[in-house]
Amino acid sequence: MTALGIVCVILGAVWLVASFWGFLQVETIRVETERVGAPQLLTEATVWIPYVDAAANAVLAAVLFIAGTGLLRFREWGRKLGIGYAWTRIGWSIVAFVLAFLGPYSRQAPIPEGEMYDVYRTFMQFRFAAVARTGMLAALLLSVAFAVIVLCLLKRESYRRAVS
């Protein structure tokens, strides 16, 4: 239980910092798009979905950190919070996948013509290339795999007895 608590605290802290970096990245892309004079590339989905995703990941990271603290203290609430984190992480990962790969965020903005085409090609395609989608898919798969491991461990009878 101590090892899992340590891993949860470390990953919770790292993912919390990463989610705040996600906020900054989204804001940077928005500001840069407006700076180059291409506000038409900011569709409604590209404006709010990344912020919701970063906020959800920040909350989940904080919950994981707190659950890890509870596991280190051998508290029942830490185990229950860890189970709740795992189920919520799996659910949110499914929602994030649907939004990113199947939902409105997956639709490409209309490609502008004329001199705006060069801005679009160099700026937007560079940032949202297949590499970014592959990285997002890898992060989703890793977070779900970790959540499943946490869920399997915390549901075990030995963990239940350790905190009672």
Per-residue pLDDT, 115? 57
Report how many domains make up the chain: 1
From residue 155, how far is each of 5, 76, 86, 101 by CA, in Å? 15, 12, 11, 32
- The type of residue at 90 is I
Question: In terms of residue numbers, what domain contains 152?
Answer: 2-163
Those residues of the chain that have pLDDT short of 70 are: 29, 32-47, 103-133
Q: How far is the C-alpha of 107 from the C-alpha of 104, rounded, in Å?
A: 6
The confidence score (pLDDT) of residue 105 equals 53
Which pLDDT value is given to residue 136?
76
Q: What is the pLDDT of residue 75?
A: 93
DSSP letter for 98, please. Answer: I
